[in-house]
Structure 1
Amino acid sequence: MTDAEALNRRLVDELAAAGALPQEWRAPFLAAPRHLFVPRVIWEDAGGGTLTPRRRDENPAAWLSAVYADEAIVTQVDDGATPDTGTGSRVTSSISKPSIVARMLGDLEVERGMRVLEIGTGTGWNAALLTHAVGEGNVTTVEVDGVLAERARTALAGAGVSPLVVTGDGAGGYPPGAPYDRVIATASVRVVPYPWVTQTRPGGLILSPWGTAYDNGALVRLTVDDRGAAYGPFLDNTIAFMWVRAQRVPRPAVPAHLAGVAESTTTLHPDAVAFDDYDARFAVGVRVPDVVTRFEDAGDGGDDFTFWAFSGASWARVDVIDGAVSHRVRQHGPRALWTEIEAAYRWWEEAGRPETGRFGLAVTADRQYVYLDSPGTPVGRPGSR
């Protein structure tokens, strides 16, 4: 047994012992070892918003140790524009944390012989696992990045499996292979592409990371009905994936000038709406789905910080002094964003602080909406449907 095989077996055993690997996925994980799909250059957080390369040839043992840790690994930065001799600034592709991969595959509920469409090939590892589970000829995987798609084809061939790898925009699915029994996305969406629904047979499942500009971290599982619609619950709110490229969230810059602002104070700590409670953050995001947030340390080495919110021409900032009961609020633009965020949080409290699992998503030909407990109780931005 090679070092890589031993490490893979140890990882599988650890995942199984922790209850993170369903029994039916043990054999596929052993048959498709992760190191066969991780490129020779991976990227690590160097601090300050930068990423630096780690090369397999420079330290094979450290590279292999990273591969078989239960952690995500960055495999591309800046859409491939930054060479592996440079410094990256944005993560644009990765191989997911093994325990998350196992969790999602378990949630997909596949059986031998099912036809599966995967959106987001990435390294090809997930497609290999699916192929071992459902059989050769039953997996189609779509990757928008041509370089990544070709790299995945090579890795898959080297691993002895041959799912169909399609280079293209996964938002359109892949009609020639339809209908599918299962559709799984490995990148997050704010709007589920309707072709995924039309290409899934009635009774089939769609599993996808989902989020809002405010909160990226949910996982939704939809069941397609015989009327061309899909409904289903949110299963988790702690799984953050990169966005599909067509639905990326903007990264607004902090305004250089604070003139013309409306000033007030708040006793609601920003941590309560965006950090402390995953359920609160999810629910607030449902009510203000287009609002982007960021935290900015005061830079004095203490715990003071500024909370920012942005949407279009509007922004808000809340300055938090550690230990203070009341916090200064400044808002600018046609929308009072902090006021909206506070109202969304109060709505969640008044609704009984529902957990994310009580929410679901409806996808039809002409609308999508989040609901609470049943499709007949839609929720969203006040005044919207």
Structure 2
Amino acid sequence: MTDPDIDLAAAKLRQQLADHLAAGGWLRSPTWRAAVEAIPRHVFVPRFYAETDAPGLTTWKPVTPQLVGVDKWLRQAYADETLITQFGGREIDWADPQPISNARPTSSSTLPALVVRMLEDLDVNEDTTVLEIGTGTGYSTALLCHRLGAHRVTSIETDPAVAARARGHLAHCGYRPRLLTCDGLLGYPEAGPYDRVIATMGVRSIPSAWIKQTRPGGLIVATLRGWMRSLGLVRLTVDDNGTAQGHFLSGDPSFMIARQQDAPESLGMIPAPDEGETRATAHGPELLTMADSGFVAQLAMPNARFFSMPADDGTVSTYVLDATNDAFATLTPSGDEWTVRQGGPVNLWDDVERSLALWQAADSPAPSEFGVTVTPDAQRVWLGSSDGPSWHLPG
């Protein structure tokens, strides 16, 4: 396939992608549709890893024009899928790429449906200035440049190699926004204040720098997440007194967490068999993995993580550990019911049960019924209204 053939095929695939995103309700405005139809995503992912449907450990396979053929590479480049371009913060050896399993993706071209949904939620106009945190491949940056003009776009990437590739991809498309390699959590005050801030990675709480660098009345669109799971996408309006408030948006987007806020490598200490106090509990570990109850559990235990492990007799227990203070809760089946053994400076499972009771008393609402208030002193998630039940986000 010659270059003109590639360009023609890519243009058709972009139109098909736009049709798909519009049909799904993600792409709603003509201006963003024009950007999707114009920006060649394949330029930003000349090679990538795609997740397979193989059973067992999550496995990704390499995709390049040489490995799978130009036609298949192009079709995958324009699929509504997240395409991985880095694992574990290390560069991929493209001289001999191999399938990768049980790895941690650290850079990608995000699912187009999520990208355009966030851009639509950003509510921009022709004069809007935007600070983007997390350049990645540069695809979303290019969409912003097409819509607003590159001079109104500032984008920050923490990884030098990732930033260098994005700069080259953007230049190839004729865009030269202000592209910086630094800590995105600190923003870039020199070009602020901005009308909008958008983050394409998850954060445990909203960095104060983002609020300080957003004009009063401006918006911040970002994903809040914990060490167990994503909490969800929030849109906050910044006030003229340095606070911000808003709601979670519908859906359950999950971004990689900011590297600066990643969980400690150690999960924490497994408690001794006789450590802590044991009681019956009405809730088993399944609540940690279910969508809505998992959201509440993450709020209740912002520093916890969990895993399951069989004992010598084959009984599988689930360990919930807080590596920041050594609190623990161990869930063990007892016939058709569960027991919990917990200890440390706080009783993790007590906190979960109290939070679940508050949530259930409100008729188990979806995350979109929760809001967020950020002040210079604290950040909290609340249910129903700002004076309703609330949970503090980690500082």
Query: Contact 2:51 / 2:58 at 8 angstroms: preserved in 1?
Result: no
SS, match of residue 152 in structure 1: helix
The structural deviation recorded for 1:281 is: 2.1
Counterparts of 1:256 and 1:191 in 2: how far apart (Å)?
Answer: 28
Structure 1 segment 142-161 matched on structure 2, within 5 A? 142-161=156-175
Counterparts of 1:257 and 1:182 in 2: how far apart (Å)?
Answer: 46
SS, match of residue 115 in structure 2: helix
SS, match of residue 385 in structure 2: coil
Is 1:307 equivalent to 2:298 in the alignment? Answer: no
The structural deviation recorded for 1:252 is: 4.2
Task: Report what 1:126 is aligned to.
Answer: 140
Q: Specify whether residues 158 and 168 from structure 1 end up closer, same or farther in structure 2 by C-alpha distance, changes over 3 A only.
A: same
User: TM-score if structure 2 supplies the norm length?
Assistant: 0.86
Task: Report what 1:54 is aligned to.
Answer: 63
User: TM-score if structure 1 supplies the norm length?
Assistant: 0.88
Task: Report what 2:391 is aligned to.
Answer: 380
The structural deviation recorded for 1:251 is: 5.1
Query: Contact 1:16 / 1:22 at 8 angstroms: preserved in 2?
Result: yes
- Residue number among 261, 269, 285 corresponding to 2:284 in the alignment: 269
Is 1:7 equivalent to 2:13 in the alignment? Answer: yes
Is 1:42 equivalent to 2:49 in the alignment? Answer: yes
Query: Contact 1:139 / 1:163 at 8 angstroms: preserved in 2?
Result: yes
Q: Specify whether residues 316 and 376 from structure 1 end up closer, same or farther in structure 2 by C-alpha distance, changes over 3 A only.
A: closer
Query: Contact 1:252 / 1:310 at 8 angstroms: preserved in 2?
Result: no
Q: Which amino acid aligns with 1:315?
A: F
Is 1:221 equivalent to 2:235 in the alignment? Answer: yes
Q: Specify whether residues 13 and 43 from structure 1 end up closer, same or farther in structure 2 by C-alpha distance, changes over 3 A only.
A: closer
Q: Which amino acid aligns with 2:161?
A: V
Structure 1 segment 1-385 matched on structure 2, within 5 A? 2-24=8-30, 25-42=32-49, 44=51, 47-48=56-57, 51-60=60-69, 61-81=71-91, 83-84=93-94, 85=97, 87=100, 89-250=103-264, 252-253=266-267, 258-261=272-275, 262-271=277-286, 273-276=287-290, 278-294=291-307, 306-312=317-323, 313-320=326-333, 325-377=336-388, 379-380=390-391
Counterparts of 1:140 and 1:175 in 2: how far apart (Å)?
Answer: 11
Gaps of at least 5 residues in structure 1 are 299-303
The structural deviation recorded for 1:355 is: 2.5
Query: Contact 2:35 / 2:146 at 8 angstroms: preserved in 1?
Result: yes
Counterparts of 2:317 and 2:34 in 1: how far apart (Å)?
Answer: 49
Counterparts of 1:348 and 1:252 in 2: how far apart (Å)?
Answer: 31
Q: Specify whether residues 375 and 257 from structure 1 end up closer, same or farther in structure 2 by C-alpha distance, changes over 3 A only.
A: closer
The structural deviation recorded for 1:69 is: 1.5
> Percent sequence identity over matched residues?
38
Q: Which amino acid aligns with 1:250?
A: P
SS, match of residue 117 in structure 1: strand
SS, match of residue 58 in structure 1: helix
Counterparts of 1:31 and 1:146 in 2: how far apart (Å)?
Answer: 27
Q: Which has the larger displacement, 246-255 or 219-228?
A: 246-255
Query: Contact 2:158 / 2:184 at 8 angstroms: preserved in 1?
Result: yes
The structural deviation recorded for 1:58 is: 1.1
Q: Specify whether residues 227 and 256 from structure 1 end up closer, same or farther in structure 2 by C-alpha distance, changes over 3 A only.
A: closer
Q: Which has the larger displacement, 157-166 or 103-112?
A: 157-166
Q: Specify whether residues 81 and 330 from structure 1 end up closer, same or farther in structure 2 by C-alpha distance, changes over 3 A only.
A: farther
Q: Which amino acid aligns with 1:353?
A: S
Counterparts of 2:384 and 2:131 in 1: how far apart (Å)?
Answer: 28
Q: Which has the larger displacement, 6-15 or 177-186?
A: 6-15
Q: Which amino acid aligns with 1:26?
A: R
Task: Report what 2:4 is aligned to.
Answer: none
The structural deviation recorded for 1:161 is: 1.8
Counterparts of 2:159 and 2:233 in 1: how far apart (Å)?
Answer: 23
Query: Contact 2:223 / 2:254 at 8 angstroms: preserved in 1?
Result: yes
Query: Contact 2:223 / 2:233 at 8 angstroms: preserved in 1?
Result: yes
Q: Specify whether residues 254 and 57 from structure 1 end up closer, same or farther in structure 2 by C-alpha distance, changes over 3 A only.
A: farther
Q: Which amino acid aligns with 1:111?
A: N
Q: Specify whether residues 41 and 102 from structure 1 end up closer, same or farther in structure 2 by C-alpha distance, changes over 3 A only.
A: closer
The structural deviation recorded for 1:229 is: 1.1
The structural deviation recorded for 1:104 is: 0.8
How many pairs align? Answer: 377
Q: Which amino acid aligns with 1:227?
A: N
The structural deviation recorded for 1:171 is: 0.8
User: What is the Cα-based RMSD across aligned positions, in Å?
Assistant: 2.8
